[in-house]
Structure 1
Amino acid sequence: MSVQNPVFIALDFPEATVAWRFLDQFPADQQLAVKVGMELFYREGPAFVAALKERGYIVFLDLKLYDIPHTVGQATKNIARLGVDYLTLHAAGGVRMMTAAKEATLAAAHGPKLLAITQLTSFTEAELQATQQIAVSLNDSVIHLAQLAQQAGLAGVISSAYESQAIHEATSDEFLSITPGIRLLGDAQGDQSRVMTPTLAQQRGANGIVVGRSITQAVDPVATYEQVVTAFHKG
């Protein structure tokens, strides 16, 4: 299952009881798109993902797989059995690794769309170059990794919305650019370095956004979610 221009709510909670308490504020028949990251998945495991799917949610499992091709392929094969809709892996693992994951999804009855992590939105350009010892710009690195992901047959990439337009120009309009680091005006930036509002993300070419604290820590999460959806879809 997928939805056009999704707004994923990042369920960055320490345990399932807190996540369910948050989700229960929304109408039962509302088909939410949610992101489950490492913090919650490693605490609650596959059973929590299965429960989300039973409720009819669109599930983006953000595990950022990175290992040798065989290991990532086998991990993807097992994750596909959970019925998740989106799954992340690191583009830095290379074309062979990403291709192994893609082949695993093709063998599954309902394989997830694969999204490659380009560069983390917490990175500044100076941090990127110092950490990875590369001389190219952050933008050039993101574009290169996006092209590798497209070559491997992935559905798209995760990147800052600042790079969305350039990603489409270097790949195609159909290649997805899903962007975290989304904040409403006036929200704290937190540990992100490259942030953007939902409206600007849409205008820059993002095909979907991931929003965490702006919604999960809001006084009225349901109203704030609707505000984000409206801002992103109307641009």
Structure 2
Amino acid sequence: MQAKDRLIVALDVDTREEAIEIVRAVGDYCGLFKVGMQLHNNAGFSVTEEIMAMGYPVFLDLKFHDIPNTVGKAASVVSRRGVKMFTVHASGGADMLCKAVQGANSSGNSPVVLAVTVLTSVSQQVLNDEIGLAGPVEDHVVRFARLAQQAGVTGVVASPREIEPIRQACGNDFVIVTPGVRPVWAGGDDQARVMTPAEAIAAGASYLVVGRPITAAPDQAAAAQRIVEEMAEGLARRSHNRR
């Protein structure tokens, strides 16, 4: 895959009109578009179908987390609708993850199923003091990644800081989709565990999710191109390091 194909642009906006404007502006400079809860809950599934009808794959990021049977049926529904990727929470457990995979495969489309490990907004302090889980963030992320892989899940969503330990635990074929990516020329916003696009790709990320550095830029297409160039630099670094 080229660097462009690894870029997922997050459509974290309220309306169908805003989303389609972004798609038209940067569609030539990315591989997929992410539709999350903000846009989906306001515009419905029709915006996802419209984006796919324009020829662009969609990563549907609704983070299913419920009893196994419910998640399995939801996975079957979104898979039949033709999305390229969708998310479930790894903390739902092995049975729920297995049902998600079964639901996805029942459609015949076999989308990429991604388990969310630990949200990139969760710092070490929040994990320990507020959520009440002892130990380093990295340990929990790797444990969730192993659980997901054993359940047949295609990959995970994880912070760039955990890419290398996930690769060590789950191998090179496991898909890692990485939010928490901020180029040096953009602010950190509400992400706690971040890297630049070049760093994240060099570390082994399969895909990067980038939102505001592109969607809030005065020239969205130029911002996307700039990030793709940084990603290409990271791919070159990764290739060099494997020699």
> TM-score if structure 2 supplies the norm length?
0.91
Judge conservation of contact 1:49–1:82 (CA < 8 Å) in 2. no
- Aligned Cα root-mean-square deviation (Å): 1.7
Q: Distance in 1 between matches of 2:225 and 2:107?
A: 34
Which residue in the other structure is 2:228 paired with?
Answer: 229
| Residues 3 and 63 of structure 1: CA distance in aligned 2, closer, same or farther (over 3 Å) | farther
Aligned: 1:163 with 2:157: no
1:130: Cα distance to partner?
Answer: 2.1
Letter in 2 for 1:150: Q
Which residue in the other structure is 2:19 paired with?
Answer: 19
Letter in 1 for 2:25: Q
Structure 1 segment 41-60 matched on structure 2, within 5 A: 41-60=40-59
Q: Which structure shows the bigger proportion of residues in helix conformation?
A: 2
What are the superposed Cα offsets for residues 57-98 of structure 1, whole Å, 9 maximum, x if unpaired? 111000000001000001111111210000000000011000
SS at match of 2:129: helix
Judge conservation of contact 1:159–1:180 (CA < 8 Å) in 2. yes
Q: Distance in 2 between matches of 1:26 and 1:8?
A: 11
Judge conservation of contact 1:31–1:57 (CA < 8 Å) in 2. no
Which residue in the other structure is 1:102 paired with?
Answer: 101
5+ residue gaps, structure 1, are none
1:30: Cα distance to partner?
Answer: 6.4
Structure 1 segment 29-68 matched on structure 2, within 5 A: 32-68=31-67
Judge conservation of contact 1:83–1:111 (CA < 8 Å) in 2. no
What are the superposed Cα offsets for residues 149-200 of structure 1, whole Å, 9 maximum, x if unpaired? 0001111000101100110100111001110011111311111111111001
Which residue in the other structure is 1:180 paired with?
Answer: 179
1:31: Cα distance to partner?
Answer: 6.5
Q: What is the aligned residue count?
A: 233
> TM-score if structure 1 supplies the norm length?
0.94
Judge conservation of contact 2:8–2:30 (CA < 8 Å) in 1. no
Structure 1 segment 211-222 matched on structure 2, within 5 A: 211-222=210-221
Letter in 1 for 2:22: F
What are the superposed Cα offsets for residues 182-224 of structure 1, whole Å, 9 maximum, x if unpaired? 1111311111111111001012111110000000011111111
Identity %: 37
Judge conservation of contact 2:10–2:33 (CA < 8 Å) in 1. yes
Structure 1 segment 84-99 matched on structure 2, within 5 A: 84-99=83-98
1:22: Cα distance to partner?
Answer: 2.1
Which residue in the other structure is 1:150 paired with?
Answer: 149
| Residues 30 and 188 of structure 1: CA distance in aligned 2, closer, same or farther (over 3 Å) | closer
Letter in 2 for 1:147: R
